Amino acid sequence: MDCIFCKIIQGEIPSVKVYEDDKVFAFMDINPLSSGHTLVIPRTHAENIFEISEQDATAVIKAVKMLSTAIKKGIQADGINILQLNGKAAGQLVPHLHVHIIPRWIGDGITISHWPMKAGDMKEIAGAAEKIKAEL
């Protein structure tokens, strides 16, 4: 399969690995948003949150929790952003599910954690909730 993250897992493309187990692989992002920016991926190829198995999703989130603690301590971060993009519309560039762990510091100037806050229309909010609940 022509997937760069599958090739990283196979060792066909070099990476700076920080962790691996039977389900998960974690390595440093090549374009770090901040020092310590790490990517966590499932070994089994899944493009996005809709495709990944529950077992692999569980393994990924467990690794994200464990690595976030190590990254916060090791890099001495003030905080951590956890980011995961699904689909082109959401800005996903690499079509192999990955979770970004991004260390943050007070006043670091990175602008990914805030968007313009504007009060929503309560009818639209409640209508959206009904549409979601109808699919559960």
Residue 6 found at the interface with ligand 5GP (CB under 6 A): no
| Interface residue with Zn ion, options 34, 44, 45, 51 (CB under 5 A) | 45
**Minimal CA–CA distance to 86: which of 76, 97, 77, 71?**
97
- The reply to whether 98 belongs to the active site is yes
Q: Residue 27 interacts with ligand 5GP (CB under 6 A)?
A: yes
Please select the residue that binds ligand 5GP; options are 72, 75, 92, 105, rule is CB under 6 A: 92
Q: Rounded to whole angstroms, how far apart are CA atoms 59 and 99?
A: 12
Exactly one of 37, 96, 98, 100 is catalytic; name it: 98
Map the footprint of ligand 5GP across residues 49-88, applying CB under 6 A.
Answer: 85
Catalytic residues: 98
List residues binding Zn ion (CB under 5 A): 3, 5-6, 45, 96
